[in-house]
């Protein structure tokens, strides 16, 4: 979005913005506050020649200033109307490679043949968690990710063990990435304004994780089970998977609540489950 189109903080009552109607099924809320946009682009710090990919460019609020700084980027957009707008945009068109697709179905490794990808976007709230877990599958091909999310989701991504926000997404993401909240975004920065606070988070995939794990899919599956009933003990939640004496052997108190275990604790349990599966397969 160009500077002269942004900054309309107070037109939030309308569901139509720049001639485009926000679509509920795509979770669209359009960013239109110049100051916030500049803060976010500064946090991303796009440079010429970088392998930049934006998910859900919408009305190009972040796309235009990013393209101005980088010269070129790929954008992934599911909404056909917005794809057409971007392809025929008088200034942006030549700087963009527009991919009409659902980001959840894309193999992101295909974009990182020459250098790692830098992924960013204002993610619809309804797909943010599954999309982040999808991208983690390609962490080896990503330099970093910057996402605007519901503040509550960013709090969960960055949460420490023992806090109410700490859960499966905290463990899964912190195992793979350094997590840094970078910009707070008020509802007034969007059209239509959402009913929640937003925040931008930086995720930097580790080359060598401080929390190594043998099988990330196993870890994610374990966390789904462990956090399914937060009020129960880890012994109860994992009783179908891990005997209590095995938890003790791994240095974990079976009477602890799931949110009190560290990322390393979950990685140790996950690795034990992986070893059990390998032993069973070899018999």
CATH class as words, domain 16-205: alpha beta
Distance CA 274, CA 33 (A): 48
Domain ranges of the chain: 16-205, 216-282
* Continuous H helices in 117-262: 128-136, 151-158, 168-176, 216-226, 234-237, 244-249
> Is 45 known as a binding-site position?
no
> Is 77 known as a binding-site position?
yes
> Is 56 known as a binding-site position?
yes
Peptide bond into 192 cis (omega under 30): yes
> Is 102 known as a binding-site position?
yes
| pTM tops 0.85 | yes
Q: Which fold has domain 216-282?
A: Helicase, Ruva Protein; domain 3 (1.10.8)
| Mean pLDDT per 10-residue segment, the chain (283 residues) | 32 37 52 92 97 93 95 95 91 94 96 94 87 95 96 97 96 98 94 89 97 96 95 96 97 97 98 94 82
> Is 29 known as a binding-site position?
yes
Identical topology for domains 16-205 and 216-282: no
């Amino acid at each position: 979005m160009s500077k002269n189109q942004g900054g309309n903080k107070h037109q939030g009552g309308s569901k139509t913005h720049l001639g485009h109607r926000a679509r509920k099924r795509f979770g669209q809320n359009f960013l239109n506050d110049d100051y916030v946009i500049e803060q976010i682009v500064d946090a991303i710090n796009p440079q010429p020649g970088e392998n930049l990919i934006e998910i859900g460019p919408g009305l190009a609020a972040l796309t235009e200033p990013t393209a101005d700084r980088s010269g070129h980027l790929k954008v992934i957009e599911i909404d056909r109307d917005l794809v057409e707008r971007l392809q025929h945009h008088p200034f942006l068109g030549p700087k963009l490679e527009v991919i009409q697709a659902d980001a959840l179905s894309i193999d992101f490794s295909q974009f990182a043949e020459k250098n790692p990808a830098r992924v960013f976007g204002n993610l619809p709230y309804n797909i943010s968690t599954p999309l982040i877990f999808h991208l983690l599958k390609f962490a080896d091909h990503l330099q970093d990710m910057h996402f605007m999310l519901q503040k509550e989701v960013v709090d969960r991504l960055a949460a420490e063990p023992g806090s109410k926000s700490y859960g499966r997404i905290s463990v899964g993401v912190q195992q793979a990435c350094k997590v840094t909240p970078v910009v707070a975004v008020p509802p007034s920065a969007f059209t239509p304004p959402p009913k929640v606070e937003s925040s931008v988070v930086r995720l930097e995939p580790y080359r060598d994780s401080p929390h190594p794990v043998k099988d990330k899919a196993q870890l994610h599956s374990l966390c789904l089970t462990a956090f399914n009933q937060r009020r129960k003990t880890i012994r109860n939640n994992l009783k179908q998977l891990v005997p209590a004496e095995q938890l003790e052997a791994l240095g974990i108190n079976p009477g602890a609540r799931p949110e009190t275990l560290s990322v390393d604790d979950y990685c140790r349990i996950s690795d034990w489950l992986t070893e059990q599966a390998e032993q069973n397969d070899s018999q």
